Amino acid sequence: MTRDRAWWPPRREFLGAALALPSAVVLAGSQALAQPRTLAATPSCVDKGAPTPPQTAGPFYKPRSPRRTSLLEPSMGGTRIVLTGSVLATDCRPIAGALLDFWQADDRGAYDNTGFRLRGHQFTDEQGRYRLETIIPGLYPGRTRHLHVRVQAPNQPALTTQLYFPGEPGNQGDGIFRPELVMAVRDEPGAKVGAFDFVLSVPAPKPAG
């Protein structure tokens, strides 16, 4: 049975609620960030029918990254950020067990191409939600600030795309930048908090019976 749209808050209200979380993000020395409040169980449906656009993986993707929700390591430089959101189908169904594989540059704009620093994968929970602790990447020539991600619903093709930061001077000069891929980001004490929902084109479930 399809959930009535009246149950789903508008997208801007959902992202606004996610970014209005109280300040539960606290740094403890070089330890990982504390858990912020859990996201609302019902994500937005206002952008129904608009899949997240794909982008190039770039030259630095590595398979078989470690499974983890925090990419932070002791003595790692850079500004901390907690990114949360959901993986949804185009009909607004949350996708449980979706794979998200993240990789990025460090605060100096360099990728680790020998190990798995600032690389990791995770799976969405039963409500299609994910949570990532990482740092804001540095700049390198030719690109604005960005995160790489591959998102894959169970038994479906993977979406490879990139996420961007709002208000970056380099956004307009980056040849592949897309405004649809800009995260909602706000400041919190000790870190930043971001939100982004991925929308995938996946087949509708077969009716029971």
Instruction: Render pLDDT for 136-175 as a digit per residue (tens, 0 to 9).
Output: 999 999 999 999 999 999 999 999 999 999 999 999 999 9
For residue 116, is it within any domain? yes
Whether residue 156 lies inside any domain: the answer is: yes
Residue 39 has pLDDT above 70, yes or no: no
pLDDT grade for 183, boundaries at 50, 70 and 90:
very high
pLDDT of residue 48: 58
pLDDT at 208: 66
The reported pLDDT for the residue numbered 206 is: 74
* Domain assignment of residue 123, given as a range: 55-200
Confidence of residue 204 (pLDDT cuts 50, 70, 90): confident
Q: What is the domain-level CATH number for residue 98?
A: 2.60.130.10
Residue 6 domain-assigned? no
Q: Is 15 contained in some domain? A: no
* Domain-located, residue 157: yes
pTM, full prediction = 0.79
pLDDT at 3 over 90: no
pLDDT tens readout for residues 100-126: 999 999 999 999 999 999 999 999 999
Stretch 23-49: mean pLDDT: 43
| CB-count exposure of residue 63 (10 Å: 0-12, 13-18, 19+) | exposed
Q: How many domains does the chain have?
A: 1
Q: Would you say residue 98 has pLDDT above 60?
A: yes
